[in-house]
Structure 1
Amino acid sequence: MFIQFTDILGAKKRIDSFIRKTPFEYSPKLSESLNAEIYLKLESCQTTGSFKLRGAANKILQLTQEEKSAGIITASAGNHAQGVAYIARALNVDTVIVIPESAPETKIENTKRYGVTVVVKGKDYDDSERIAHEMEKQTGRTYIPAYDDPMIMAGQGTVGLEMLQEESDLDMVIVPVGGGGLMTGVATAVKGINPNVKVIGVQPQVSKPWFEAFYQKKYIKEVFGDSWADGLTGDISASMINDFNAVVDDMVLIDEESIQQAIFYMIDKHHLIVEGSGVAGIAALISEKIEVKDKKVGIVVTGSNLDTKRVKTIVDKYVKED
């Protein structure tokens, strides 16, 4: 399953006309507060509000005409769903997407707007994935994985490619980690350009299978809790562990309070709405989980699809009346 740097270069050419080259912006406020040079790769500004569009595009564009004609199916907590739906509409491919009942309403409604069939079923992502695979067998559709697929990883890796093309002398890249596809792709791209860049992954404490797999060097079955970083929770594919560990330098954990603080930080200091999964790297920095003093650091800000009710909750919690 291991991907090569050339796979990412190929993906970049393939998907360029379907994605937005997102900003890689210097953050004066973070840089000043941390005595470092901090840049934010704003995939929250991607066409569908998330980096997931990249992997979905790379995968679907490589399907045969027969596979496209038979239709596709996937499971997603929301961002992968929107990426698949966007490309499916662009290519006129009949699509079914299974979304868990726990998914934010904004992600469900945004997916429906692309004209795909949305099935809200399953208590969590893992349950929805199981249901989607059952439907795949029944209908003959092609399943589009969310992370554990070389074409998906190569597409996600274009995020890292763009970062290093703009700032080739980064000391460190920080990446939120859920299924591991983004991290594997980004780390492969980064190391392909500059092997000396340190690549660090971030997971929430309530769902840390990659943290355990990195340090234990094996798959460990976990019980997962709910998180503000809902896109980073859930099980992983044991088949990815060797490839993941080969390109990742370290993993850290963040708590729920730091995630909420980071969401508010982006609203207050950058005037940007970023979902909990998207601020994981920022949460790791403001909670002092990673030492970045005097370093040049790139952080992947993965998505903007935060429910309005959650925005209100954060603002009400942290904005103090005079």
Structure 2
Amino acid sequence: MAKVALEAPTLADVVAARDRIRAYLAATPLRNYPSLDRLTGAEVWVKHDNLLPTGAFKVRGGVNLISQLDGTTRARGVIAASTGNHGQSVAFASRIFGVRATVVAPEGANPVKVEAMRDFGAEVLLQGRDYDESREHCERLAAQHGYRYIHSGDEPHLIAGVGTHTLEILEERPDIDAVIVPIGGGSGAAGAAIVAKATRPGIEVIAVQSAQAPTAHDSWREKKLVERPNTTVAEGLSTRTAFELPQRILRELLDDFVLMSDESILAAVAIMLEKTRTLVEPAGAAPLAAMLSPALGDRLRGKRVAIICSGANISPAQLRAVMAKG
């Protein structure tokens, strides 16, 4: 039997998600930092999703999705595979709505994120060398036990939920010229593109991923789903496989997609710490790395640019590595 294509969310879905999650998640700050303006030659506005309760943007999608599950599905429980931020999102939302949650994470997952998932009440199983091995184990468990499997990208309600970050940006600063979004699976960038293009088609939406895990980038460039090696230290940008729904949305709406080295991303973490006093994980600093690169620097000079600071869940080991380079 042919697989039924998931329907992409619309701006109306994102607006409904904003109203649905507001009782649980306040809008996050959008702040301008003159020091970043000076470094980039642009007017930089940082969307601080690192300040959400889980320290990452994905909780917007988790609350939007789990709030809509019916009683039978909630009683069965939910399961997700995650390197950390998606799992925290599912755990946080499940706790609010009284749902049993299981998260399968890689054996070497960021310990800060693993501890947080457990603190939010999820059962965390460490299985697999990377996200994709964890995902395969998760899918087997979902089939065996009848759990509601929450995919980290192929979920319209997740995409609508995370797209609320860009809705908030454009409600506060409708004069933004470009939005730069980090990508792992692509839900955040897909949500951003849906909102930006429906609000003002001339807004540029630019994605950034690690060159050490270029799956989403290469899939977008080649206009088909591909697999690539995943060796990045930025787990929020890491996957070996691409996701169909985000890629379909990005092929239609995304303006550009750039790759940054892990070295440049870690350097951007240090800059965020120094110039904005913001604790940020590597994925959350990737948009600044892109702005500072030759790939985008000249093109964005003089423009108003919003960058999504997607998460704050940096591990002590990652932070020590950043400070050692500084």
Structure 1 vs Structure 2 CA RMSD: 1.2
1:51 to 51, 54, 57: 57
Q: Structure 2: which amino acid aligns with 1:75?
A: A
2:46 to 40, 51, 55: 40
- Conservation of the 8 A alpha-carbon contact between 2:220 and 2:251: yes
Residue by residue over 1:210-240, the C-alpha shift from the partner in whole angstroms, topping out at 9 and shown as x without a partner, is: 2222222122232222x13211111212354
Residue by residue over 1:147-194, the C-alpha shift from the partner in whole angstroms, topping out at 9 and shown as x without a partner, is: 211111000110110010011011111000110111111110111111
Alignment of 1:55-66 (within 5 A): 55-66=61-72
Residue by residue over 1:238-289, the C-alpha shift from the partner in whole angstroms, topping out at 9 and shown as x without a partner, is: 3543322111000001001101100100111111110011111001112232
- Conservation of the 8 A alpha-carbon contact between 2:219 and 2:242: no
Q: Structure 2: which amino acid aligns with 1:313?
A: A
- Conservation of the 8 A alpha-carbon contact between 2:60 and 2:162: yes
1:230 maps to what in 2? 235
Q: Does 1:3 align with 2:20?
A: no
Q: Does 1:299 align with 2:304?
A: no
Q: Does 1:106 align with 2:112?
A: yes
Residue by residue over 1:270-314, the C-alpha shift from the partner in whole angstroms, topping out at 9 and shown as x without a partner, is: 111100111110011122321211101000010000011221221
- Conservation of the 8 A alpha-carbon contact between 1:27 and 1:39: yes
> Can you give the 5+ residue segments of structure 1 that lack an aligned partner in the other structure?
none
Alpha-carbon distance, 1:38 to partner:
0.6
Q: Structure 2: which amino acid aligns with 1:47?
A: P
- Conservation of the 8 A alpha-carbon contact between 1:228 and 1:260: no
Q: Structure 2: which amino acid aligns with 1:43?
A: D
Secondary structure at the aligned position of 2:124 is classed as strand
CA distance in 2, matches of 1:94, 1:40: 34
- Conservation of the 8 A alpha-carbon contact between 1:11 and 1:158: yes
Secondary structure at the aligned position of 1:102 is classed as coil
Secondary structure at the aligned position of 1:303 is classed as coil
Q: Structure 1: which amino acid aligns with 2:90?
A: V
Gap change, CA 1:242 and 1:147, over 3 Å in 2: closer
Q: Does 1:172 align with 2:178?
A: yes
TM-score of the aligned structures, taking structure 1 as reference length: 0.96
> Can you give the 5+ residue segments of structure 2 that lack an aligned partner in the other structure?
1-6
CA distance in 2, matches of 1:9, 1:198: 20
Q: Structure 2: which amino acid aligns with 1:245?
A: R
TM-score of the aligned structures, taking structure 2 as reference length: 0.95
Q: State which drifts further: 180-189 or 285-294.
A: 285-294
Alpha-carbon distance, 1:209 to partner:
1.8
Q: Does 1:72 align with 2:69?
A: no
Give structure 1 regions of 4+ aligned residues with deviation exceeding 6 angstroms.
Answer: none
CA distance in 2, matches of 1:300, 1:269: 16
How many residues align? The count is 317
Secondary structure at the aligned position of 1:38 is classed as strand
What percentage of aligned pairs have identical amino acids?
A: 33
Secondary structure at the aligned position of 1:279 is classed as helix
